């Protein structure tokens, strides 16, 4: 039987698609450095596990569709530390940030509508949109200027009468960009002028380096009725497997639509919400330690890349990714070759090809994303393997 054109037309995730090659390489005895996926190795704060261990329930019941009120309260307190004030009914807990994004797109767009993203963008925006017949339109940003946004006129050119929202990720995956307060203000201005929503994917809010100034889209009271803040414990507390995310918005119609979708999927797992409540109570000193660690990792990877012949990248200022242009014919071919044909002392590296992170056809063919989610000594070895692989690759330009 045929599958729907919608499902058949969806791209497989470029982050996960090449995993079978890595599995084969491992089976063949190679060590593979997994730099393809944003799966941090930092320890999840112990409070998460302790809270779950201490649960004394006789029935594991459905939770409220909006989420556990204690978790919502903990998130309200967390937002206050960023000068954001959300009422209890302005926050909904979701199955990861992923569900918050999908539900936002469904609530805001009809089939045939479009959303504006800054490309390269978090590739699953593509999948979520394609699944509900929504088009993703890209504002192209470039490594050469650190993936910052183009001028207002350039952005306005991409908007048409089917545009419903921006989805912007700040700090950015895969680019590591941190938008300046001026850029954030510019998007707010355009959204107001063109009557658009801003879905602000801020799951990497704490991962900002070198004193770069960070401004949340949640800090603009004059746009509060058109801003949706998407969050998650996955990266913030190194708890990807908890599948706990949230969205926060002051627009009552939007929240009412989201609530209908949430009621349909009943609720988010009860135990993980109990653990996540403790996560949001983690002292802020945790972020400082984690941030210092990622900055060291960023330095290790960036400094190594800068020394590699023909490699182009800018120093990322946030999140834990770097988008890299390689001197190769095709980045995906190069990554597959690294996994299937190459090893350096029995080791190789896996990355994510960047083409699927663009909406504009033809862009990103020679680019890949590296996630610096391993400890510094491992990253040093991985960078050496990559350097040797680049020298040996037959499709080198
Ligand atoms: C920018 C961005 N948004 C959302 C997500 C989804 O996160 P979650 O694990 O909360 O579904 C990710 C995960 O990699 C991400 O990088």
Cβ 238 under 6 angstroms from ligand 1: no
Does the pLDDT value for residue 367 go beyond 80? yes
Average pLDDT over residues 57-62: 95
Cβ 245 under 6 angstroms from ligand 1: yes
Confidence of residue 9 (pLDDT cuts 50, 70, 90): confident
Cβ 38 under 6 angstroms from ligand 1: yes
On whether residue 397 sits in a domain, the answer given is no
CATH of the domain at 348: 3.90.1150.10
Does the pLDDT value for residue 119 go beyond 80? yes
Residues 184 and 175: their CA atoms lie apart, in Å, by 16
Longest CA–CA span in the chain (Å) reads 64
Work out which ligand 1 atom sits closest to the CA atom of 37. 14
341 Cα–ligand 1 center, Å: 31
Confidence of residue 211 (pLDDT cuts 50, 70, 90): confident
Work out which ligand 1 atom sits closest to the CA atom of 244. 10
Same structural domain, 384 and 318: yes
Cβ 96 under 6 angstroms from ligand 1: yes
Cis status, amide bond into 149, omega within 30 of 0: no
pLDDT at 267: 97
Residue 234: give the domain boundaries.
46-279
Confidence of residue 5 (pLDDT cuts 50, 70, 90): confident
pLDDT at 151: 97
Same structural domain, 63 and 171: yes
Confidence of residue 15 (pLDDT cuts 50, 70, 90): confident
Does the pLDDT value for residue 260 go beyond 90? yes
Cβ 141 under 6 angstroms from ligand 1: no
How many CB atoms are closer than 10 A to CB 120?
Answer: 30
Residues 6 or more apart whose CB falls under 8 angstroms from that of 12 comprise none
On whether residue 270 sits in a domain, the answer given is yes
Q: At which of 263, 279, 295 does a domain end?
A: 279
Does the pLDDT value for residue 57 go beyond 90? yes
pLDDT at 10: 84
Which is nearest to 339 in space by CA: 2, 96, 17, 99?
A: 17
Task: Give me 177's structure tokens.
Answer: 């960009």
Cβ 171 under 6 angstroms from ligand 1: no
Using DSSP's 3-state secondary structure scheme, residue 14 falls into coil
DSSP state of 327: S
Q: Whose CA is nearest to atom 7 of ligand 1?
A: 97
203 Cα–ligand 1 center, Å: 7
Does the pLDDT value for residue 228 go beyond 80? yes
pLDDT at 1: 87
When divided into structural domains, the chain yields a total of 2
Same structural domain, 272 and 300: no
pLDDT at 12: 80
How many CB atoms are closer than 10 A to CB 198?
Answer: 23
Q: Whose CA is nearest to atom 13 of ligand 1?
A: 38
Average pLDDT over residues 68-76: 98
Average pLDDT over residues 161-178: 97
Average pLDDT over residues 107-111: 98
Q: At which of 245, 279, 313 does a domain end?
A: 279
Average pLDDT over residues 32-47: 93
Same structural domain, 301 and 245: no
On whether residue 363 sits in a domain, the answer given is yes
Same structural domain, 240 and 295: no
Q: Which of 94, 96, 371 has the most ligand 1 atoms within 8 A of CB, as the residue to mutate?
A: 96
Strand partners, 118: 139
Condensed to tens digits (0 to 9), the pLDDT of residues 141-168 reads 998 888 999 999 999 999 999 999 999 9
Q: At which of 279, 308, 330 does a domain end?
A: 279
Condensed to tens digits (0 to 9), the pLDDT of residues 274-311 reads 999 999 999 999 999 999 999 999 999 999 999 999 99
- Contacts of range 330-334, beta carbons closer than 8 Å, 24 or more positions apart: 330/365, 330/366, 330/395, 331/355, 331/364, 331/365, 331/366, 331/367, 331/368, 332/14, 332/18, 333/395, 334/368, 334/389, 334/393, 334/395
pLDDT at 16: 83
Condensed to tens digits (0 to 9), the pLDDT of residues 229-257 reads 999 999 999 999 999 999 999 999 999 99
CATH of the domain at 112: 3.40.640.10
Q: Which of 36, 37, 105, 232 has the most ligand 1 atoms within 8 A of CB, as the residue to mutate?
A: 232
310 Cα–ligand 1 center, Å: 31
Does the pLDDT value for residue 14 go beyond 80? no
Residues 372 and 301: their CA atoms lie apart, in Å, by 7
Q: Which of 67, 126, 168, 173 has the most ligand 1 atoms within 8 A of CB, as the residue to mutate?
A: 173
For strand 227-232 and strand 163-169, is the pairing parallel, antiparallel, or unpaired? Answer: unpaired
Strand partners, 94: 245
104 Cα–ligand 1 center, Å: 14
Distances (CA, A) of 121 to 76, 118, 175, 321: 28, 6, 8, 12
Same structural domain, 370 and 347: yes
pLDDT at 143: 83
């Amino acid at each position: 039987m045929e599958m729907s054109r919608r499902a058949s037309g969806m791209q497989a995730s470029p982050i996960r698609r090449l995993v079978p090659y890595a599995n084969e390489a491992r089976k063949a005895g190679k060590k593979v450095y997994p730099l393809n996926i944003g799966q941090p190795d930092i320890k999840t704060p112990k409070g998460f596990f302790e809270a779950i261990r201490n649960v004394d329930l006789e029935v594991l019941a459905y939770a409220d569709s909006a989420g556990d009120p204690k978790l919502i309260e903990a998130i309200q307190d967390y937002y206050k530390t960023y000068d954001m004030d959300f009422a209890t009914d302005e926050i909904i807990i979701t199955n990861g940030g992923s569900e918050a994004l999908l539900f936002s797109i469904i609530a805001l767009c009809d089939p045939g509508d479009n959303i504006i993203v800054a490309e390269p963008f978090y590739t699953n925006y593509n999948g979520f949109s394609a699944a509900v017949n929504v088009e993703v339109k890209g504002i192209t940003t470039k490594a050469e200027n650190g993936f910052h946004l183009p001028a207002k006129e350039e952005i306005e050119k991409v908007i048409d009468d089917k545009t419903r929202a921006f989805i912007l990720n700040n700090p950015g995956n895969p680019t590591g960009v941190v938008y300046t307060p001026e850029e954030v203000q510019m998007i707010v201005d355009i959204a107001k002028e063109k009557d658009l929503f801003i879905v602000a994917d801020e799951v990497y809010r704490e991962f900002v380096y070198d004193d770069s100034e960070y401004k949340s889209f949640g800090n603009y009271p004059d746009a509060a009725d058109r801003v949706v803040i998407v969050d998650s414990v996955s990266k913030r507390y190194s708890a990807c497997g908890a599948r706990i995310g949230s969205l926060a918005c002051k627009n009552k119609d939007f929240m009412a639509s989201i609530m209908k979708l949430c009621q349909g999927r009943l609720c988010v797992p009860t135990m993980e919400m109990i653990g996540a409540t403790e996560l949001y109570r983690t002292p802020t000193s945790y972020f400082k330690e984690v941030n210092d660690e990622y900055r060291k990792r960023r330095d290790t990877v960036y400094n190594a890349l800068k020394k590699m012949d023909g490699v182009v990248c800018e120093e990322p200022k946030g999140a834990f990714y770097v988008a890299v242009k390689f001197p190769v014919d095709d980045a995906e071919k190069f990554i597959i070759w690294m996994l299937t044909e190459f090893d350096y002392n029995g080791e190789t590296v896996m990355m994510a090809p960047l083409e699927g992170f663009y909406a504009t056809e033809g862009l990103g063919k020679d680019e890949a994303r590296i996630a610096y989610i391993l400890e510094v000594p491992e990253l040093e070895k991985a960078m050496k393997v990559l350097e040797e692989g680049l020298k040996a690759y037959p499709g080198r330009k």
